[in-house]
């Protein structure tokens, strides 16, 4: 067996593999350049803690002999399963502060292992926390405040099991990451075409459990739209829905598991609607005089039936910062793609709509090269976040959705509240906004906060900004999350957002499926 040091390891504190971490002199140069670009004073660039320096409490659980082969209490395993990848997670792990390590990390090899693990957790009174890629940004995998816990890492179940090329669907195990499942589908000329920014490390099971949103702006925005049927193991037995293209038979069993965030059971596999790989692309970028003019164009596009695959509107602050747009100009990144028909005519109509709203077309690429470059930059961004954190830049995002008639006042109000909190907590900083997804009846505003961090107080700074922003979102009628999920961090606002009678029903379902209350306690709902 290979020793751990010979195996490529994920960083225990940040994004990607240890061998992807740039050398410290490069981190220093990039962090200094980023601070200067953001207009922040220079600051010392820190180094991450070393794993060997982290003291963990002794594990409070010992697996039975029958499960010993798939369980570990190795420090690297416990540390890498203690947090997700929110700003507050990375800051803590970077400093070697591991507040709530799981006692045991289990890596089931099949469904029978999952069943035996849940039985053991119920009898031992331990929490069972399903773990996909650990990219949660809402405290979804952190065993916060729990007595004893087992992190159930699903990544050994990473196979494409079956392809139905007639119905164009594929049965995929829940632990497959984005690249793993795309690579296996590629052999069949197919794609799931679901690209969240965390694509490289997040898993199908995690996407289903959190109702993840991909980077396509219209039509099939969420993983929900791609799920044909789901299979999960709950403490009360297996849950598998029929494969159907649609069904009116009562509330949908799939919709109940979608967004269940590990509180009802462990998703083990799903039949997913797959597609032919797109070959035909066209894209362009367009400048607008201000965010509101751009948003009006996006509304018309979303209501036009043209269904652009990419339709991201960056406000002037973000357009200037990320794409060097001239001051005061919002930037719309527009793209179309298809496996079947040329999309240039669609792009042309979309650009006409943009110019009707005062848009100035910057570049138009028939190959859609612009959209591909956008996607690559999008997937690379989280690596840069690690460098920003080392350089003392507070860097996080929050996202929501709202109907069109309220969008302008909503964005203004949330931005104002977030800016006020950033100024109070950090003394300086920026809040920018982009529209990531566009629907006929509304859009999903996505806010980015970049501010100088006060070393040692980053969590308090971010928590205050996040709370102010969340209060503003809730008060103005938005959702506390469009695709990042609820987890532990969004609970106060989610509890207020969901109807009381729905909470009663959900609680009843939780009690029936998870009578011992072991499944990811603290997330979504209390039994």
Ligand X SMILES: Cc1cc2nc3c(=O)[nH]c(=O)nc-3n(C[C@H](O)[C@H](O)[C@H](O)COP(=O)(O)OP(=O)(O)OC[C@H]3O[C@@H](n4cnc5c(N)ncnc54)[C@H](O)[C@@H]3O)c2cc1C
Applying CB under 6 A, which residues contact ligand X? Answer: 84-85, 129-137, 140-141, 154, 174, 196-198, 202-203, 205-207, 209-210, 212-213, 261-262, 266-267, 382, 483-485, 520, 523
Dihedral of the alpha carbons of 522, 93, 51, 452, in degrees to the nearest 10: 180
Number of CB atoms found within 10 A of residue 255's CB = 14
CB of 431 to ligand X, least distance (A): 18
Contact present, 19 and 8 (Cβ < 8 Å): yes
CB of 197 to ligand X, least distance (A): 3
Q: Closest Cα to residue 523, out of 89, 145, 173?
A: 145
CB of 121 to ligand X, least distance (A): 13
CB of 484 to ligand X, least distance (A): 5
By beta-carbon proximity to ligand X, the closer residue of 177 and 285 is: 177
By beta-carbon proximity to ligand X, the closer residue of 141 and 449 is: 141
CB of 10 to ligand X, least distance (A): 12
By beta-carbon proximity to ligand X, the closer residue of 207 and 288 is: 207
CB of 470 to ligand X, least distance (A): 17
Contact present, 337 and 331 (Cβ < 8 Å): no
How far, in Å, are 78, 112, 116, 263, 283 from residue 119 at the CA level? Answer: 21, 11, 5, 15, 52
By beta-carbon proximity to ligand X, the closer residue of 152 and 334 is: 152
DSSP character at residue 50: P
- CA angle (343 as vertex; 341, 346 as ends), nearest 5: 130
By beta-carbon proximity to ligand X, the closer residue of 36 and 219 is: 219
Q: Return all residues near 57 (Cβ < 8 A) that are at least 6 apart.
A: 101
Question: What residue is closest to ligand X based on CB?
Answer: 206
By beta-carbon proximity to ligand X, the closer residue of 206 and 370 is: 206
What is 295-364 written as a DSSP string?
A: HHHHHHHHTTT---SEEEEE-HHHHHHHH-PPTTEEEEEEEEEESSS--HHHHHHHHHHHHHTT-EEEEE
CB of 242 to ligand X, least distance (A): 20
By beta-carbon proximity to ligand X, the closer residue of 141 and 435 is: 141
**Is 88 in a helix, a strand, or coil?**
helix
Q: Tokens 């990544």 identify what position?
A: 155
**Distance of alpha carbon 246 from alpha carbon 272, whole angstroms:** 13
By beta-carbon proximity to ligand X, the closer residue of 329 and 491 is: 491
CB of 149 to ligand X, least distance (A): 11
């Amino acid at each position: 067996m290979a020793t751990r040091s010979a195996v490529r390891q994920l960083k225990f504190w940040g994004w990607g593999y240890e061998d992807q971490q740039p050398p410290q002199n490069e981190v220093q140069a990039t962090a200094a350049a980023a601070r200067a670009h953001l207009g922040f004073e220079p600051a010392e660039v820190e180094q991450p803690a070393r794993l060997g320096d982290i003291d963990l409490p002794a594990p409070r659980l010992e697996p039975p002999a029958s499960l010993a082969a798939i369980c570990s209490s190795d420090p690297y395993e416990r540390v890498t399963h203690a947090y997700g990848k929110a700003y507050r997670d990375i800051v803590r792990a970077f400093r070697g502060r591991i507040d709530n390590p799981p006692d045991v990390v289990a890596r089931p090899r099949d469904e029978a292992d999952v069943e035996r693990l849940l039985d053991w957790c119920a009898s031992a009174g331990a929490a069972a926390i399903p773990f996909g890629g650990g990219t949660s940004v809402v405290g979804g995998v952190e065993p916060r405040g729990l007595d004893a816990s087992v992190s159930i890492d699903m990544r050994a179940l990473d196979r494409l099991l079956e392809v139905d090329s007639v119905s164009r669907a594929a049965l995929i195990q829940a632990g497959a990451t984005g690249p793993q499942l795309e690579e296996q589908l590629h052999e069949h000329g197919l794609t799931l075409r679901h690209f969240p920014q965390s694509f490289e490390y997040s898993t199908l099971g995690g996407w289903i459990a959190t109702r993840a949103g991909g980077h396509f702006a219209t039509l099939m925005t969420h993983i929900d739209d791609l799920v044909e049927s789901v299979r999960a193991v709950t403490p009360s037995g297996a849950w598998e829905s029929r494969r159907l293209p649609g069904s009116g038979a009562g509330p949908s069993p799939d919709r109940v598991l979608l967004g269940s965030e590990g509180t009802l059971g462990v998703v083990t596999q799903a039949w997913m609607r797959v597609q032919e790989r797109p070959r035909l692309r066209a894209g362009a970028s367009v400048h607008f005089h201000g965010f509101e003019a751009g948003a009006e164009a996006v509304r018309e596009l979303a209501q036009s039936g043209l269904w652009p695959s990419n339709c991201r509107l960056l406000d002037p602050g973000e357009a200037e910062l990320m794409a060097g747009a001239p001051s005061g100009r919002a930037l719309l990144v527009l793209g179309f793609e298809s496996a079947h028909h040329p999309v240039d005519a669609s792009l042309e109509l979309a650009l006409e709509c943009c110019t009707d709203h005062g848009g100035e077309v910057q570049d138009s690429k028939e190959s859609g090269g612009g959209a591909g470059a956008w996607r690559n930059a999008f997937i690379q961004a989280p690596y840069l976040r690690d460098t920003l954190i080392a350089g003392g830049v507070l860097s996080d995002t929050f996202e929501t959705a709202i109907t069109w008639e309220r969008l302008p006042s909503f964005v203004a109000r949330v931005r104002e509240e977030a800016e006020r909190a950033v100024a109070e907590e950090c003394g300086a900083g920026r809040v920018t906004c982009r529209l990531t997804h566009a629907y006929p009846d509304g859009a999903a505003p996505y806010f980015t906060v970049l501010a100088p961090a006060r070393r040692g107080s980053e969590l308090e700074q971010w928590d205050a900004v996040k709370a102010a922003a969340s209060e503003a979102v809730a008060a103005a009628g938005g959702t506390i999350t469009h695709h990042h999920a609820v987890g532990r961090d969004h609970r106060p606002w989610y509890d207020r957002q969901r109807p009381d009678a729905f909470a009663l029903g959900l609680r009843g379902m939780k009690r029936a499926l998870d009578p011992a209350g072991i499944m990811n306690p603290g997330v979504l709902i209390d039994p």
